[in-house]
Amino acid sequence: MVTLKCFHCGGDKLARNGFTQNGKQRYLCSDCGRRSRDNHNPMATPLNNASKFCGPITSAAASEDSLAPLACLAILSAVGSKKQATLPDLSTALVEPDPQDPEATTLELDELWSFVLKRANKRWVWVALCRLTRQVVAYLIGDRSEASCKKLWERIPAAYRDGHCYSEFWEGYNLVIPAHQHTAAGKETGLTAHVERWDLSLRQRVGRFVRKSLSFSKSDTMHEVCLRLFLYDYNHSVALSSG
């Protein structure tokens, strides 16, 4: 006779408690008050298939139970990296600027606060928006430092590098962007209104970038993957509407 045990506490005082959506018997534990079910499998991918994603995990002294959490983390990391590798490049959806039109290369720069896993893990999203086409020509996820601003500047395509840039009064912009190409202005002037409006669009359409939300990224990889997907879709939609 097989004795069923609670998956959570190991107790054997179980009572039938209905069925799951896929027809499996559900049990209620009298010891811990939590529910279990028949053939409970906490892993989405079996341990013996983990090598397909992240290579073999071997240890002479480790048991299968001790390897299960490690395998799950490795699989999630591998899947996230695979998604990131297959994402299209942001430049493929950009409209080629007219070199004879100064407005075609005018950029508005801004940084947007977000977090990963918990609010203490701040991730600043830096963007450079073309004022004429409303497309995001470059982005970066990092901290709010001069080094991050410099990386954003280096990611701006060469066709837009000579354009005039408008930003807020954050000191990083003054240290990185050449003075003759940069104008710092407050929100009341309206010179950065388009990029500020884009920040609102991002927060409205992608829940993990909302300031107060139950949706948030658990890893930096997925944080950037979701941002890149939105950026590509946004730029592609703008290009189709303007064409």
pLDDT tens, position by position, 3-42: 678 877 888 888 888 888 778 888 888 888 888 777 665 5
Q: Which CATH architecture has domain 103-242?
A: 2-Layer Sandwich (3.30)
All CATH 3.30.420.10 domain ranges of the chain, comma separated, are: 103-242
Q: Summarize the confidence of residues 210-216 as an average pLDDT.
A: 81
Contact at 8 Å (CB) between 48 and 30?
Answer: no
In the sheet with 118-130, reading across from the earlier edge strand, the strands are 136-142, 118-130, 107-116, 165-167, 182-184
What pLDDT does 123 receive? 95
In angstroms, the Cα distances linking 64 to 14, 60, 93, 166 are 26, 11, 46, 57
The string of pLDDT tens digits covering residues 109-150 is 999 999 999 999 999 999 999 999 999 999 999 999 999 999
What one-letter code names the amino acid at 204? Q
Q: In the block, which residue shows the tokens 């950065």? A: 192
CB atoms within 10 A of CB 156: 18
Q: Summarize the confidence of residues 87-102 as an average pLDDT.
A: 85
What pLDDT does 62 receive? 39
Long-range contacts of 171-180 (CB under 8 A, 24+ apart): 171/146, 172/144, 172/145, 172/146, 172/148, 173/109, 173/149, 175/146, 175/149, 176/146, 176/149, 176/150, 177/109, 177/153
Q: Which of 209, 208, 216, 222 is nearest to 77 (CA)?
A: 222
What one-letter code names the amino acid at 91? S
Q: What is the pTM of this model?
A: 0.66
CB atoms within 10 A of CB 92: 9
Q: Which of 111, 108, 164, 163 is nearest to 136 (CA)?
A: 108
Residue 222 and residue 77: Cα distance in Å, rounded?
9
In angstroms, the Cα distances linking 207 to 79, 215, 216, 220, 230 are 21, 6, 7, 15, 12
What pLDDT does 73 receive? 45
Range scoring the smallest mean pLDDT among 14-18, 132-136, 177-181, 204-208? 14-18
The dihedral region occupied by 57, where left means phi > 0, alpha psi between -120 and 50, and beta the remainder, is beta
Residue 232 and residue 174: Cα distance in Å, rounded?
29
